[in-house]
Structure 1
Amino acid sequence: MQHTLTNKKILVLDKGSRILSVMDDIMFYRNFDLHLIYDPNAVYDKAKSLKPDLIILDYLLLDEDCELVCRDLKEDKDLANVPVFVVTAYRSKRAIADSYKCDALFLKPLDLDVLASRIDYLMAS
């Protein structure tokens, strides 16, 4: 009998490779099926077709559209339960994280142990 192991799928929106090094580090902890996308206008359609287990968005890439992208993802009945992380270097964004409807907001520099732990927790629930 053949045993097939399905890796968890993570969709990462990162145009300038600002969080790609972080994803490399996370891959050290776990073997995820990583899908990179560079166009913020295509992230919703990619998420619909891929059905990822987690979505990570780079705030700097999205600028003011970050809130809209998160809302689109969370208001879609097929994607509403997919955890969405936003990564930012701006401490002031922590105060408005709730308006994004994201599941977690991480400030750079990232604590990889905390990030990996949070990914495991949200992907398991």
Structure 2
Amino acid sequence: MEVLNKQKRLLVLDKNNRIQSVVDEMMYYGDWDVSITYDPYAVYDMAQSYKPDLIILDYLLLDNDCALICQDIKDDATLHHTPIIVVTAYKTRKARADYYKCDALFIKPLDMEVLASRMDYLIAS
């Protein structure tokens, strides 16, 4: 029988070490087992082996790499249900969740309570 309040798994792509403070705060807002990668090319493989409950992609620049990572995850039969949040510092016309096939898009600076609430919502849905 599975434990009801199991620790949630969070996979984070932290490009250029810009989201470490967010990860530290997430530990305050919930019981997370966090795995961090700094390599955008390793995210998909890590997601396959780690089986996260949620993925956060931190991108300095919104580019096609982010869209491709999201598409790879959403196309995978075992990962397609895993919510993806994209975090960026840039406001551009491309900064739309539907463009990246992600479940939420946040533009920095982040309101940690809003982010934590959205994370809980996405995992519950």
Confirm whether residue 42 of structure 1 aligns to residue 42 of structure 2. Answer: yes
- The equivalent of 1:51 in structure 2 is 51
Letter in 1 for 2:38: Y
- The equivalent of 2:85 in structure 1 is 85
Q: Does the 8 Å contact 1:9/1:54 carry over to 2? A: yes
Pairwise CA RMSD: 1.9
Work out the CA distance in 1 between the residues paired with 2:117 and 2:44: 26
Q: Structure 1: which 5+ runs fail to align? A: none
Work out the CA distance in 1 between the residues paired with 2:14 and 2:55: 11
Q: Secondary structure at the match of 1:119?
A: helix
Q: Secondary structure at the match of 2:87?
A: strand
Confirm whether residue 65 of structure 1 aligns to residue 65 of structure 2. Answer: yes
Q: Structure 2: which 5+ runs fail to align? A: none
Give the 4+ runs in structure 1 shifted more than 6 A.
none
Q: Does the 8 Å contact 2:9/2:52 carry over to 1? A: yes
- The equivalent of 1:110 in structure 2 is 110
More helix by share: 1
Q: Does the 8 Å contact 1:14/1:61 carry over to 2? A: no
Work out the CA distance in 2 between the residues paired with 1:110 and 1:25: 11
Work out the CA distance in 1 between the residues paired with 2:93 and 2:12: 19
Q: Secondary structure at the match of 1:47?
A: helix
The count of corresponding residues between Structure 1 and Structure 2 is: 123
Once the two structures are aligned, what percentage of the paired residues are identical? 60
Letter in 2 for 1:9: R
- The equivalent of 1:14 in structure 2 is 14
